[in-house]
Structure formats: structure tokens, C-alpha cells
Amino acid sequence: MNEPRHPNFFAVEYADQVREEAEYALAYLKHLERMIQNPANISQFPRIQEYEELVSRGIHWLTIELLDLLSARTTRKLMKNALHIKAYLTFNLNICLKDLYNLVTQRTRSHFPVSEYLRKIHVENVRPYVYNSIDNALRFFMRCYFGDKFKATLACMTELTGDFRVRPIELHRKGILTVEVPEVNITRTRLWSGLAHEAAHHRLSMIPGMQKVDNLFEELSEELQKIGWRHVPKIYKSFEIVEWLSYLQYQEMLADISSVMVIGPASIFGLLCYSPPVAYDTFFTHPPLPVRVHYAFELLQSVVEESTDCAKELQDLRRSWDLYYRNFGAGEAHRDMVEEYLSVLRDSYQSDLFEVVRESIVVGSHINPFNEETWGKISDAIENKQLEKLGPVELVNVPLYRRWKSYPEMLKSERTPLLYRSYEKKLTCFIMKRFAELHP
């Protein structure tokens, strides 16, 4: 297969997200190096040489790897480098970095200067708005799923590592939700789709016993378990685990569909720009990426009329996804699993899933779920650069859609897409401020 001349949009976006994570980790490492090498702190660290070695090797390794990533010009090379860095961060660096950071903070009482870092990446004005805007955005999504009377105190925490998570805690009283957000995602447009997805998970875990949701699970569970028995790793081949995994996958499907129904393409962009391009062939906690992308596109294409601008854009997006997937989805075992999965969904359950979400999960009366009209408003706003009148659903769609639209132009002018994000950063600040002002 001939490699297209330019790297694929989604490969660039995924690689760029990894680049930002790596640069963030690098900034952390440099902060730790400064702390450890400060003569005043020597007595605080009995194993100083070991720490120095660890930090210095991490800095060297990441610097070279980042240079290598920035020089990548093809989809394959971008994906390979990005996955390589992501695996290094996940398995080698994040855990020891977190432990070392805790140790250094505890002993020297010095914290990583997040504001300084944000200034460096040109989103310095965003810091005062972060927590309020995340709270307000999440409250908006919760109301889409729980109804207009949803009330909770949200405690947002940002973490160096980890993933999006919303969970209830009981401190002095009920009704407090902790919201964990990976720190690096604060500056990413993927933040909003992550919140929309997690809010749906929270709804599913807090209100069990919804008859339609449960009935569908009972039917689908049998089919999922059949796939599961064929593809689950050997160590997990037990009735309980396969059943539990199909339960988790069902929840993921519902959360994906809910999020697509509410915010539309932003959810697909988020999914594709965040998920590693890997053709995994094991039955695990999430459905395979091509399956998730498939039902998301099917849902969106079912709500727009054919031959409209919106339908054409969705077709373009889907074509771009197909090209991207061709680069990593050739494994036979993976294809088999995806095909089995899709044949189950396509033939029997896809429309049931959409119906269940529409009737039982997306229940807020104040929202107008994504539709052609929303799309029109987004395109107009981008064209006329007038974002002030947009509502939350439109706002979360603007940055990645705008980036998608300007991508061909970016390539024509031979800019390096990995480094050209200044307008997107401006948009991030703007959206943060808008959400902070929102009074839900």
C-alpha cells in the first residue's frame, strides 16, 4: 500500500497529544532535577545519586524521543513514535515520577509550578478558570443525564498521571463528587468529550435498575460473552470475569453513545485523538476502537439528512478514520474480533442501544442534543469568528472541528501540524472562560 503524502489528521492529533504529555513529564523531571541538585536540599535525600540518575536518564531519553517524534513525517512513523513514548510514560516513568514527586514535595515543600508551565505553553490566562469551568461543564453534562434537578458538590482534582474519573465520596455528607482530570488534558480540547463520557458513566453507576437498560444488557450480555470466551486472555477465562467484562463493555457503549448524542462529533474527535492506534485483539474492559467509532458514526449519520453539508463532513471524517485505521488495523485476530462484534451490533442491537440511551439516559429537558442545526451554528461561528453566542454543546465542538477544517491549509503552507496550535490554545482559553461564566 502506498503511503499518502501527508500524515493522517488523527495520527497527527494522537502524536501531538503524546508530545504534550511527554513535554509535561519533561517539565516535571526538570523541576525535580532542580530540587534534587539544590545544595540546600542535599541532606533531605539519602539516596540522592539514585534519584539523580533516574531523573537525568528520563530527561535525556524524553528529549531525544521528542526530537525524533517532531521529525516524523509519515503516519506510520508518527504512530510508532507516539506509541513508544506513551508506553514509556505509562510503564516506566509515570509511577516512579509520581512517587519521586511526592517525596520531593514532602521533604522540600516545593510544588511543581503549574502556572509557569502553562505560561510556557501560552495558556497562562486559563489557570484561574480551570476548576470553575470543569465544574460547570460537568454540571451541565450531569443535568443532561440526570435531569434538570441534578445537584452535587463537585471537587475537581488534577493529577499528573491517571485518567478521567468521576466518583462519589462520603466525607461529612453525601452528594460530593470527586472529579479527577489528568493535568495535561486541561490544555487539550479533548477535555470536554472526556467529561461528557465520564458523566454518563456516573449516571449509569448511580441509578442502577433502569428497566430498559437492564433488559438490553441481559440480551446483549449473552452475545458479548460469546465473543469474550473466544478472545479473552487465558488468565481471565472464568465465568465471572467474562461476564463482568461484558458488563463493563456494555457500560462503555452506553457512555459513548450518550456522549455522542449530547455533544456530537466532539465525542468522536475526542475518542480518536485520545485512543492509542493499536489493533488489540483481546476482549477486555472497553470495546475495540473501530467498534466504538462505528456506532458513533452510525448514530450521527442517523440524525442528519443525507446530502446536507453536515452529512458530507461526516463522510469526510469517516473516510479519514478509515485511512487511519488501515495503518494499524490489519492484524487478523483483531479484524476477526471487530467483525464478530460489528455483526452482533449491526444486525440486532445497534438501534436498540440508541433507543435505550435516548429514552433512559439523555433525559435533561434543557438540552437540545446534537443535530444539523447545531452543526450549522458551529460552522457559521467558525467562519465568522463569532463564538460569543454559542451554547455549551456548540462550544465544545469548535476547537477540534476548526482544526480539522484548517488541516489541509496547514499542510499546504508546510507548517508542522505538531507545533501549530496557537489558535487552538486561544480557543481553549476562550472556552474555559465561557464555561466558568456559565451559571447552570
Partner 1 sequence: MRERRKWFSFAAYVGRHGDYARRHFDVEATHMENLLEPYRNSRSLWEVLLEIIHDAPQPGVKYDMLTRRALKAFPEGFSKQEMKSSLSLLRKRKLIAYHRQTQTYSVARGAKLPLR
Residues that bind partner 1 (CB under 8 A): 56-57, 60-61, 63-65, 67-68, 71, 76-77, 80-81, 83-84, 86-87, 90-92, 162-165, 208-211, 213-215, 217-219, 240-241, 243-244, 247-248, 275-276, 278, 280, 282, 284-286, 348
- Shortest distance, CB of residue 331 to partner 1, whole angstroms? 10
**Cβ distance to partner 1 smaller for residue 163 or 309:** 163
- Shortest distance, CB of residue 434 to partner 1, whole angstroms? 28
Which residue do the cell numbers 517525596 mark? Answer: 103
Encode burial over 2-15: b for 16+ CB neighbours within 10 A, e otherwise. eeeebbbbbbbbbb
**Cβ distance to partner 1 smaller for residue 126 or 344:** 344
- Shortest distance, CB of residue 229 to partner 1, whole angstroms? 16
- Shortest distance, CB of residue 76 to partner 1, whole angstroms? 7
**Cβ distance to partner 1 smaller for residue 286 or 426:** 286
**Cβ distance to partner 1 smaller for residue 150 or 247:** 247
The count of other CB atoms within 10 Å of the CB of residue 395 is 22
**Cβ distance to partner 1 smaller for residue 10 or 401:** 10
**Cβ distance to partner 1 smaller for residue 129 or 324:** 324
**Cβ distance to partner 1 smaller for residue 228 or 399:** 228
**Cβ distance to partner 1 smaller for residue 174 or 366:** 174
- Shortest distance, CB of residue 303 to partner 1, whole angstroms? 24
- Shortest distance, CB of residue 62 to partner 1, whole angstroms? 9
- Shortest distance, CB of residue 414 to partner 1, whole angstroms? 18
- d(CA 183, CA 118) in angstroms, rounded, equals 11
**Cβ distance to partner 1 smaller for residue 288 or 364:** 288
- Shortest distance, CB of residue 309 to partner 1, whole angstroms? 35
- Shortest distance, CB of residue 116 to partner 1, whole angstroms? 25
